[in-house]
Amino acid sequence: MNTNFIKACYGEPVDQIPVWFMRQAGRYQPEYRAIRKENTLMEIVYQPELCAHVTQLPVEQLGVDAAILFSDIMTPVKALGIDFDIKPGFGPYVEKPVRTLEQIVALKNPDFTKEVNYVGATIELLRTWLTVPLIGFCGAPYTLAYYLVEGGKSKSWQHLHGMMYANDERWHQLMQHLAVSMAAYLKYQVAKGAQAIQLFDSWAGDLSFEDYERFVFPYVLHIFEELKVVDVPKIYFGLKTSHLFPLLQQYACEVIGIDHTISINTARATLGDAKALQGNLPPTALFADRSILHAKIDFIIDQYQQHYNKGFIFNLGHGCLPEMQGEDLKYVVDYVHGKTSG
């Protein structure tokens, strides 16, 4: 078992910098596209053998140091009583967006052991196949609420922020419900064998410090407090979160995932060394010439080596893009490993 990823999360010495990529299973893979022709995204999730296969594919092809369960942040939402679809080329779609207090108080408190038993079955299967740690995940309350309240990707954020700024019972109840249920969902994944967990709060970085502190922070704090009882490393990730670091630092998590809008040095200057960092190659660097790609990777690794030399996981600043080539992603893995081993 290759445990460099887990060691890096805890700030322990590693043989080489561990690497994995957000969205490492996905449309850049011809094998994934072929499977998607025959199955919707959720149909993959509902079939443990197939889902485990899709999870494992990038591990074999790229040589990454961790697997991430193939799923979506919407997977646990059906168990709350919300119908959704994932539309190709668009993403999550909720036909009846959650906007009234009536809808919010009607949300269920699911027993995830029963409601998403296929997730547990996939995790159990993967633990018998994998030689790298398996990361479980879920969406953080704010990022989930974005899809539930807007109904899908939105440019105006009018309904979500309308509810948030109204600061009435609806916001508190919805965020509290999502916090409690996502903590339970993550505990379920760990009980089934997930060896680390990541909380995706992709869109939270768009909020000001004050709005995040007031409307989002207490709920994420709650999730990590709840998860103190599970002995696996925990990662919080969002885009453009550097202005929020003084708050993120307070979470009971081992790792902060950062995007490519901030350097490792600047992140360390604010965050100190109490947490490991994960990131942050710009995904678009994968489309550049090798010399440029080298320079971008060297920039990250040099900072890691000069100033800290532990507690770092190499990743992209955001997810893999469909236009990427598997061979280029593998090249990045080999380059990072080669540069940092021994």
Question: Should residue 202 be labelled a site residue for ligand 1CP when binding is judged by CB under 6 A?
Answer: yes
Q: Where are the alpha helices (DSSP H) in the chain?
A: 4-9, 30-38, 41-46, 48-62, 101-105, 112-115, 117-129, 141-150, 158-166, 169-192, 209-215, 217-226, 245-248, 264-271, 290-307, 326-340
Residues 76-105 that bind ligand 1CP (CB under 6 A): 86, 88, 91-92
Is 127 one of the annotated active-site residues of the chain?
Answer: no
Give me the catalytic one of 32, 65, 72, 146: 72
Is 36 one of the annotated active-site residues of the chain?
Answer: yes
- Token pair of 334, please? 């080999």
Closer of 23 and 170 to ligand 1CP (Cβ): 23
Residue 93 Cβ, how far from ligand 1CP at the closest point, in Å? 10
One residue of 68, 163, 264, 333 binding ligand 1CP per CB under 6 A = 68
Closer of 14 and 45 to ligand 1CP (Cβ): 45
Angle at 74 between CA 147 and CA 7, to 5 degrees: 115
Kindly determine how many residues on this chain lie close enough to bind ligand 1CP according to the rule CB under 6 A: 22
Give the burial string for 143-175 (b: 16+ CB within 10 Å, else e).
bbbbbbbbbbeeeeeebbbebbeeeeebbeebb
Residue 306 Cβ, how far from ligand 1CP at the closest point, in Å? 30
One residue of 96, 108, 153, 307 binding ligand 1CP per CB under 6 A = 153
One residue of 14, 17, 73, 285 binding ligand 1CP per CB under 6 A = 73
Asked if the bond preceding 4 is cis, omega within 30° of 0, the reply is no
Taking only Cα atoms into account, the Rg of the chain, rounded to an integer number of angstroms, comes to 19
- Residues involved in catalysis: 23, 27, 36, 72, 147
Which positions lie near ligand 1CP, rule CB under 6 A?
Answer: 22-27, 36, 41, 68, 70, 72-73, 86, 88, 91-92, 137, 143, 153, 200, 202, 319
